[in-house]
Each structure stands twice: as C-alpha cells, then as structure tokens.
Amino acid sequence: MSDEIKITKKVQRKGDDGYKIVSVRMKDELITRLDELSIKTNRSRNELINLLLNGAIGIVKIEE
C-alpha cells in the first residue's frame, strides 16, 4: 500500500473565470466606432465593451 495520495490539479474549465459569454447585435456604425477606439487605446473590443458597460451601468436613471 502506498503512503501517498495523488491528486491531479483541477483543469480550469471555460466559464470558471467569472465571465459569461453573451451575444449582442450591434449596428455596423457602432462596431466601427468600437474598432477605432480599440486601435487608439490598444485594447480589445471585448475589453472596451466591459469597461464602457461598467462605467455606464452605475449612472443609469430609470424614468417612469
């Protein structure tokens, strides 16, 4: 009988990083603007969308 218990490291599965994948329809004009901003800031489109949404969601006012 062995004096060791071997346990392999858990392989992180996609989605376990706290992020979820979403699909969003956007007009070509908005994608073009995002791509231009991406080039200017050296950030990915995905990173920019996350930054912009995080900045905007806190200042939303709901009108009734």
Does 10 map to a domain? no
* 50: in domain: yes
Report yes or no on 36 lying in a domain: yes
Structure token digits, residue 24: 């969003």
Residue 39 structural domain: 28-57
Domain assignment present for residue 23? The answer is no
pLDDT string in tens for the chain (64-residue length): 568 767 677 776 766 778 888 999 999 999 999 999 999 999 999 999 999 999 899 899 999 9
Question: Is 63 within a domain?
Answer: no
Residue 48 · residue 34 · CB < 8 Å: yes
Question: In this structure, is residue 47 part of a structural domain?
Answer: yes
Residue 51 lies in a domain: yes
Q: How many domains does the chain have?
A: 1
Question: Could you tell me the pTM of the whole model?
Answer: 0.69
Tally of CA atoms within 13 A in the half-sphere of 11 that contains its CB: 2
